[in-house]
Amino acid sequence: MQHDALIDLLDRMTLEEKVGQLVQLTGDFYSDRADARTGPMAQLGVKDSELANVGTVLGVSGAEECARIQRSYMARNRLHIPTMFMADIIHGYRTIFPITLAIGASWNTRAAETAAEVSAREASAAGLSLTFSPMVDLVRDPRWGRVMESTGEDPYLNARMAEAFVHGYQGDDLLGDTSRVAACVKHFAGYGAPVAGREYNTVNMSERQLRDMYLPGYRAAIAAGAKTVMTAFNTVDGIPATGNRHLMRDILRGEWGFDGVLISDFNAVRELEAHGVAADDRQAADLAMHAGVDIEMMSICYMRELPGLIREGRVDASLVDEAVLRILTLKNDLGLFEHPFRGVDPEAPTVVRPDATSRAAARRVAAQSAVLLANHGSVLPLRSFTTVALLGPVARSHDVLGSWSAQGVPAEAVSLADGLQEAARRHDIDLEVARYGQKPEDYTKLDDATFQEAVALARRADVVVLALGEPSAMSGEASSRTDIRLPQAQVELFDAVRAVNPHVVVVLSNGRPLDLGQIDGAQAILESWFLGTESGAALADILCGDTNPSGRLSMSFPESVGQVPVYYNGDTTGRPYEVAPQEKYVSKYLDAGNYARYPFGFGLSYSHFVYGEPELTSTTFDAEHPLEIAVDVTNDSDADGVDVVQLYVRDPVAAVVRPVRELKGFHRVAIAAHETVTVRFTLCERDVRYVHPDLAERSDPGDFLVSVGPNSRDLNSPMTVRLTETAA
C-alpha cells in the first residue's frame, strides 16, 4: 500500500480504532474456545467488542491458528486492517539453535545469521511476522538468568552479533521475501545490569557508562535496520525505561533517528505504577505515550485512558496518530494489507518441523558454539579402541534446548547419549552409558544406585565422559541464582567417579557462566551450554575429533560468585593490582584473585596456535589514514583447526577512566595443520572514540596500546600507536 493510502486509512479510523491498534494481547484472547477467552478478558477487563480493534497478537504460532485468527479478525475489523503475529523466537522456532550466549561464543556472525535465517523461515511459515529478537543486553553478572539470551559482556562483539541477527531475520527485502520476519531489538535499555543480578531489579549507572558500554549493541541493531525496539522492565537513571522520554525520544528517536515501532515489554506500561512513577493507569498511559511507546503489551492503560487524556488536552491526538501510523507502516512493510496470511497458505496450512537442512545448520552452529575449557594431557579427542563410560544426569537428557526455545520439542533433540552412541560406532569406541540417574530430578539429587553404577562403570573404563549441568529451568527469565556452582549432588558424583578414574571429561550444560572450582580436577571440560536440537550430535563430533572445537567465551567465568561482576574490560583504578601485586594497598581481595577463572575470548582447540610478533604498517593514524596490524599465526599441530584472533586496544590517558583493554576486532581463521596464516586488522579513528563527560562520543589525539592474541588475557606485549588528529 502506498504511504498516502496509509494516511487516508488513518484519517478514516475512529479514535477507538486508533487506540486499539496501540494494544497487544496474547493469543488466548482470540481462542475459539469461549472459556479460554473469557478468563483472560475478564482478568484484564477487555470487552469482546474491543478485540476487533486490538492491533497485534502476542505468542500465537502455528499456521492454522494464525490463519483462523486473522480470518475472523479481518472480518470483524471495520476497515479490514490485518492483525499481526509476534512471538519470542530467540534461538530457533522448531529447529532450535544454541542459546544466544553460546552463539556469541562462536564468534561467528555467519552462525548468528544462519540461526536467524532458519528461525525466520520456520516462524514465518508458522504465521509469525515478527520476532522479539535479538536480545542485545550487555551482561556481566552470571547470577542473572537471562545472560543465556545475550551474546555476552563486550559491546563490540554484541554489536557485530546484533547486526547479523537482524540481517538474518529481515534479509534485504522484508516485503517481498515472506521467509523473513521483522526483528525487535531488546530490551532498551540496560536490562542486563540489574543490581545484584536479581531479576527485574534496579539498574544503576551513569548515562555516560550506559552510552559507552551498553548502548552500542542496540544502536548497531537499529543501524542494521531493525524494524522495532522493545522497552526494558528496568529503570534507567531512576526512571523506568518504558516511561523514559529522554531515553526513547531524545536518544532512540532523536539522536539515532529510529522511526520504527517501539513496543513495551509485557505489562511494563502498567508497571510504571509499581515502580512508583505513576499513580494510576491514566498517569501510566500519559508517561508512556509521551515517552514514545507505540504498542502497550498486555496491559490496557492506553485503551482505557488515552481518549480521556486527549479530551483533557494532556495528550495531543497527533502523538496517537504518529504511533498508529508507525504500526500501520510496519504492517505495510510486511505486506500484510495485500497478504494478511503472509508466509502461510490459509487453505493448506502446514506444520513446521525440523528437516535435514535445518538440522544440518543447527549442528554446524552448535559445533562452533561449544567451548573447550580444559584438555589436560590431550585426553580429547577420544581415541579409537578405548572404553568410554558416559555418566551423569545430562547424559541421556533431552533438556538441551534451553530457555526461550519457542516450539522446540525436546524429544526431537539429539541427546549426548544419542550422539555419542552413533559416533562411537564410527570411531570404534566401546561406549557404555549409565542407566540410572537420568530423570530430570536427578540434576539435584542422585540415589545410591546411581552412584554405585557410576563408580562401577568408571572403574572399568579408560575414559569417563561425565555430563553435568543446570536444568534449563535454572536460567532464562525470572531465574536468577545466588549460588552459581553445580548442584552439590553432581559434585559428589564427580568426586566419586574421579576417585576411581582420573581420566574424567566433564561436558557441561548450563545457561550461565558457573563457578567450576569444584571440578577443577577434571582432565577436560567441554562447555556445551544448551546447544539445541542437534546438541548431542555436535558434541559427539567434537568429543570424537570430527570437529575441532573453535568456541571462545563471550562472557567470563568467575573464580567464585564473590568476584561477581568480573569481566575483562573493567576500568583501571588508582591502585592497580598489576603494578604491585605484592603490595597490600592495591585493588585486590584477601581471599581470591582479581581475574576470571576462564576469561572472555578464551577457548582451546585440538590444534596448537603460535602467534608471531605483530607488525604495524605505521605507528600513527588519523581519521583519513587508518593503520594496519598484521600477525602471523601458525598451526603447530597435525590437526586442521580454526582460531579466533582478537585485537584489543587500550587508551592509557583519556578524559575519563578507560577499560584496561577493549575488543576492537576479531577474525575466525581456518588454519590447516602446520600452516601459517597472516591475519590483518585495520585500526580506524572511530575505533578509539569514547563517550566524554559531556556525553559526546569522539576520539582524542594521543597514544594507544594495541595487542593481539587468542583471548583477552594471553596477549602479546602491547605496541604503542598514536592518533595524530581526531575527526573534524
Please state, as a whole number, how many other Cβ atoms lie within 10 Å of the Cβ of residue 499.
11
- Considering beta carbons, is residue 25 or 489 the nearer one to ligand GLC? 25
Task: Based on the shown chain and the rule CB under 6 A, indicate whether residue 28 belongs to the binding site for ligand GLC.
Answer: no
Give 30 or 557: the residue with its C-beta nearer to ligand GLC.
30
Among residues 301, 346, 258, the alpha carbon closest in space to that of 75 is found at 346
Quote the crossing angle between the two packed helices 317-333 and 301-311, to the nearest 10°.
140
The beta strands (E) that lie in 261-396 are given as: 261-263, 296-297, 371-375, 387-391
Q: How far is the CB of 230 from ligand GLC (least distance, A)?
A: 6
CA–CA dist 49, 425 (Å, integer): 62
In the set 265, 541, 651, 687, the catalytic residue is 265
- Tell me, yes or no, if 265 is annotated catalytic: yes
Applying CB under 6 A, the site for ligand GLC has a residue count of 6
Out of 97, 107, 214, 266, the only residue in the binding site for ligand GLC (CB under 6 A) is 266
Considering only residues 388 through 417, tell me which ones interact with ligand GLC, judged by CB under 6 A: none
Give whichever of 297 and 395 is closer to ligand GLC, judged by the CB atom.
Answer: 297
DSSP per-residue codes, 94-124? SSBPPPHHHHHHTT-HHHHHHHHHHHHHHHH
Eight-class DSSP state of 494: H
CB of 270 to ligand GLC, least distance (A): 13
DSSP of 8-21? HHHHHS-HHHHHHH
Which among 680, 681, 679, 699 is positioned nearest to 689, based on CA atoms?
A: 699
Distance CA 599, CA 711 (A): 7
Instruction: Quote the distance between the C-alpha of residue 14 and its chain's center.
Output: 40
Measured from the CB atom, the residue of 17 and 296 that comes closer to ligand GLC is: 296
Q: Toward ligand GLC, which CB reaches closer, 298 or 604?
A: 298
Q: Which one, 295 or 382, has the nearer CB to ligand GLC?
A: 295
CB of 297 to ligand GLC, least distance (A): 7
Distance CA 475, CA 510 (A): 8
Scanning residues 602 to 631, which ones bind ligand GLC (CB under 6 A)?
Answer: none
Interface mask toward ligand GLC for 425-454; x: CB under 6 A: ------------------------------
Would you give the binding string for ligand GLC spanning residues 125-164, x where CB under 6 A is met?
A: -------x--------------------------------
Q: Closest approach of Cβ 268 to ligand GLC, in Å? A: 8
Query: Which residue has cell 605496541?
Result: 719
Shortest gap between Cβ of 86 and ligand GLC (angstroms)? 8
Residue closer to ligand GLC (CB basis): 60 or 723: 60
The answer to whether 75 and 84 are in contact (CB under 8 A) is: no
How far from chain centre, in Å, is Cα 595?
24
Residue 265 binds ligand GLC (CB under 6 A): yes
Q: Torsions phi, psi of 689, nearest 5?
A: -75, 150
Q: Which of 477, 636, 700, 725 contacts ligand GLC by CB under 6 A? A: 477
For 30, 320, 365, 499, the CA distances from 52, given in Å and listed in that order, are 10, 18, 42, 66
Name the closest residue to ligand GLC (Cβ): 132
* Amino acid, single-letter form, for residue 266: F
Tallying the residues shown for the chain, one arrives at 728
Q: Which is nearer to ligand GLC, 200 or 451 (CB)?
A: 200
Asked if 88 touches ligand GLC (CB under 6 A), the answer is: yes
Written as nine digits, the cell of 536 is 548431542
Contact flag: residue 186 with ligand GLC (CB under 6 A): yes
Helices and strands: H and E segment counts in the chain: 19, 27
Q: Which amino acid is at 320?
A: V
Least distance to ligand GLC, CB of residue 696, Å: 31
Residues that bind ligand GLC (CB under 6 A): 88, 132, 186, 265-266, 477
Active site residues: 265
